[in-house]
Structure 1
């Protein structure tokens, strides 16, 4: 291979241990898993207190779950040397923070793999735990911690935000605990046409106080840069945005505009149906037969559906439905305009 990255097999590079500050020293295969023995590259023999050189005082082995290769769980057995200062007597171990968090059982590469597997590949936590060869709780806690570090603790995630969206989401289907969470997203990439929306935060609860508190906790300079706040028809969100972001424009997001227009179209159709026939829609009634066609975008109508609407709107008594359908179609057009 003329384009190989190395001519001699390098286990450290292949398993991406160099990114963790480790050097592979051996390997073996066990039933159901691969084991890599490695050591810390950084010597770290100087005392952390007085700076004098320490003497080796044995070693300990740290066991870490690593990203799988070929879906075979991989375990790292990291030999960590212990040192004792000859001057002050201080005892310390080699620094392994580059490889994993303190007291963690997953390497940093394993946590990144698990997060990508769940977010990008849509794998379950059980499947990720199987790939890492760890318990379900271990994988779940690691994914939550890594996601919180990447998404929530990232200091740069609020930079360049000029448009935000807020909505509620049902995330708990039990009798205990908060049923709703308030979701805040960054709509700036959509407004600028540079990419998809981006999650900013999720706050337990659904009320004016929840959104108002979240806005109040943000930096005043950041609040001044927000120009647009998109939301549903909940007045609590609008009031909170008006109080905390007085210079921002509050608008209803496109999804709820289309939904409200569709609800109004259904109400108008049912009212006209009852006024003309004195009963709810039945299989043979033109308005009832066209109920789904009315919700189809005009540019998506087939010839048969178009003929059905033409015949429906030809009846003078259906003029109110035709006008409402026109407004509904206009909401769809506005929704597609960036």
Structure 2
């Protein structure tokens, strides 16, 4: 599991936790003016990238209701996960990640089902997660290329003429101008 997928999984669990707490506290989905709905994007931002205004908004949302503690705890775990990947020294990052995985593996309150599920999922894949710190390689570039190829394949649906498909592919990839200039 590369850093992108691990952080994405944690981000998804944070979103589900926020939605659950929002629903329990207000009895409806998020609306404008609801504290947790107002911070939904801010929660997925790294702590070091937050502006003062965003920090204040987070703090106000967390102290607005005691029920928001679940979101605050899950947010803290999410930030620790990001911090482990951003460590300048691979050894420090690996130690921080192992401690984090161990801490959320067991001992998580039953009031935090999303965090408990995240802990179980990450603990099962701990070897792959920790291997990133030994190797330092990621399959992110391969995933990016596969994503582009899938998108390009989706554009081709309905084309029966190979020349039209090639032309559409060149237009989409921005290479048509190079092809014209080569003539």
TM-score bucket (shorter structure): 0.3 to 0.5
Give the structure with the larger strand fraction: 1
Q: Which has the higher contact order (CA 8 A, sep 6+)?
A: 2
TM-score, structure 2 as length reference = 0.46
Q: Tell me which protein shows more helix as a share of its residues.
A: 2
Give the alignment's TM-score, normalised by structure 1: 0.25
